[in-house]
Amino acid sequence: MSEENSVEEKRKNIRKRVKIVALLKMGVYFSGRGFAKDISINGMCLVAPSLFKFMKPAQVQEYLGAPLKVMFPSQSLTVNGSLVRIDIKKGEGALSILNTSDDAQWQKICAQ
């Protein structure tokens, strides 16, 4: 079984490929800009080299489970979640969604 298949099996919903500009905030000290690469009702993959690529490999474990706020200015929407995966080589992070500022809007974006 490939690693990619095992990730797919852990997901509750199928992800939809997108490219939506996002502003990210993790705690008080870390913020950055990037985009959502794929989304679902329960999670998303974010590409944000300014935030994820500069982490040291030893720091990755510390940040897993950390809260992350993702703001989508073009959608007037904020998504709150926790980091479940960080790929420092690709500058990507995967997020498990806890809540949104507008659940109906988020469901609409995921369904389009």
Which tens digits make up the pLDDT trace of 13-58?
Answer: 788 999 999 999 998 888 999 999 999 999 999 999 999 988 899 9
Do the beta carbons of residue 25 and residue 13 sit within 8 Å?
no
> Domain 12-111 adopts which CATH fold?
Thrombin, subunit H (2.40.10)
Which tens digits make up the pLDDT trace of 42-100?
Answer: 999 999 999 998 889 999 999 999 999 999 999 999 999 999 999 999 999 999 999 99
Q: Spell out the domain ranges in the chain.
A: 12-111
Q: Is 111 left (phi over 0), alpha (psi -120 to 50) or beta?
A: alpha
Q: Model-level pTM?
A: 0.86
